[in-house]
Amino acid sequence: SQMTAMDNATRNAGDMIKRYTLEYNRSRQAQITKELIEIISGAEAV
């Protein structure tokens, strides 16, 4: 049962890492998109 508990803990940690990585990448991509829009908007204004 200790082995099962460790397996579950390891799996949960892995799932959390995947979830946080996804969240991080989404927010990073949103920031990149925002910056690109600002650059394009600035170029169009010239």
Whether this model's pTM surpasses 0.85: no
> How do the domains of the chain map onto residue ranges?
1-46
Say what the pLDDT of residue 7 is. 96
DSSP structure string for 1-46: -HHHHHHHHHHHHHHHHHHHHHHHHHHHHHHHHHHHHHHHHHHHH-
* Structure confidence by residue, pLDDT tens digits, 8-33: 999 999 999 999 999 999 999 999 99
